[in-house]
Amino acid sequence: MQLSTKHLLGIKELLATDITTILTTATNFKEVLQRPIKKVPSLRDTTIVNLFYENSTRTRISFELAEKRLSADTINFSASGSSVSKGETLLDTVNNILSMKVDMVVMRHSASGAPHFLSKHLPNTAIINAGDGINEHPTQALLDAFSIQEKLGGLSGKKVLLVGDIMHSRVALSNIFLLTKMGAEVMLSGPPTLIPKYISQALGVRVEYDLKKALSWCDVANILRIQLERQNQVLFSSTREYNLAYGISKKLLSSLDKEIVIMHPGPINRGVELDSDVADSGQSIILQQVENGVAIRMAVLYLLAGNRNS
Ligand code: CP
């Protein structure tokens, strides 16, 4: 099984067959992760740098664990504490790291398009986007899809709702690209100020501002974090009022005539977009999403390493 691409820059650039290949490979790696010895020698001769210019808990640990489970050598780089503070450019930093014989780069950056820029300058090094600004977070969408598939038995025809800060969410954009490519139906809900105008026509999704109607429609609701750090103007009155209008509470879910699956990419603003009694309930698969992230990242690294060697 091979991917059609040398890099993972976004879901936008993937074919549906690439997505199926990654999800199938991840199923095999998930089986490896259930074994007493959770390690395979697949990337024994590969060195990977995890280049994080922006904070992360889940993605960073998950990539590092995936690399270790594949027996790769790993280097972890944080912009804070590095020579970036002395003015070194992204390209200089990466070229210096690559001169030490590094094979693959996993990168998170606050600038949308930063991994695409790197891939143009370093065509022979596999670049994996671990989240770029408000653009894409492809491995998050892949682990979300894997988790939906595991819970509901497939993606095609499933009704997936994304709730909240669509405007600033790279998770939303990657999920929309992935789910529509795989035949799922996608609806967006949230305050009109946090949903881009014309997104419905541009990306083939539905928009429903009435949260209860949207929740009644879906099989699964992926609740997004309010990205206060990316908002340079006030787009809703207060987190308290946001919670009252668009927060997911036990009471709201109990008023539906069916039980839906609740997801969240993390980190959660508890009591803002999602109440604790929902986040920690049996309806939520949030920790399964995190668990599945390791298998997905193993699959992506393994398949891209295979492309490098072919
Ligand atoms: N979901 C996600 O990207 O979480 P982190 O920011 O902790 O990596």
Show the domains of the chain with their CATH numbers.
11-137+293-309 (3.40.50.1370), 138-289 (3.40.50.1370)
* Ligand 1 atom 3 nearest Cα: 59
Q: Return the best residue to mutate from 58, 269, 287 for the ligand 1 pocket (most ligand atoms within 8 A of CB).
A: 58
Nearest atom (ligand 1) to Cα of 266: 1
Per-residue confidence (pLDDT) for residue 233, from 0 to 100: 62
Among the atoms of ligand 1, which is closest to the Cα of residue 130?
3
Show pLDDT as tens, one digit a residue, over the chain (310 residues). 899 999 999 999 999 999 999 999 999 999 999 999 999 999 999 999 999 999 999 999 999 999 999 999 999 998 887 888 888 999 999 899 889 889 999 999 999 999 999 999 988 899 999 999 999 999 999 999 999 999 999 999 999 999 999 999 999 999 999 999 999 999 999 999 999 999 999 999 999 999 999 999 999 999 999 877 766 666 777 888 999 999 999 999 999 999 999 999 999 999 999 999 999 999 999 999 999 999 999 999 999 999 876 6
1 C-alpha to center of ligand 1: Å? Answer: 28
C-alpha 57 – ligand 1 centre gap (Å)? 6
286-309 and 16-33 are packed helices; what angle lies between their axes, rounded to 10 degrees? 110
Residue in 140, 142, 225, 227 to alter for ligand 1 test, most ligand atoms within 8 A of Cβ:
140
| pTM for this prediction | 0.96
Residue nearest to atom 5 of ligand 1 (CA): 56
For ligand 1, what atom is nearest to the CA of residue 55?
6
**What confidence score (pLDDT) does residue 82 get?**
84
Looking at residue 116, what is its pLDDT? 96
- Closest CA to ligand 1's atom 6: 56
| Amino acid at position 255, single letter | S
Q: Exposed, middle or buried, 305 (CB in 10 Å: 0-12/13-18/19+)?
A: buried
255 CA to middle of ligand 1, Å?
31
- pLDDT for position 80: 83
Top mutation candidate among 56, 108, 109, 297 for ligand 1, by most atoms within 8 Å of CB: 56
Query: Ligand 1: distance of its center to the CA of 310 in Å?
Result: 32
Which pLDDT does position 230 carry in this prediction? 66
* CA 121 to ligand 1 centroid distance, Å: 27
Ligand 1 cavity residues, CB under 6 Å: 56-60, 131, 137, 140, 265-267
What gap in Å lies between CA 266 and CA 289, rounded to an integer?
10
Span from the CA of 184 to the centroid of ligand 1 (angstroms): 24
Q: What is the 56 CA–ligand 1 centroid distance (Å)?
A: 5
Residue 142 Cα to ligand 1 midpoint, Å, equals 13
Contact 146, 166 (CB under 8 A): no
In the prediction, which pLDDT does 19 show? 98
98 C-alpha to ligand 1 centroid (Å): 25
**CB burial class (10 A; 0-12, 13-18, 19+) of residue 204?**
exposed
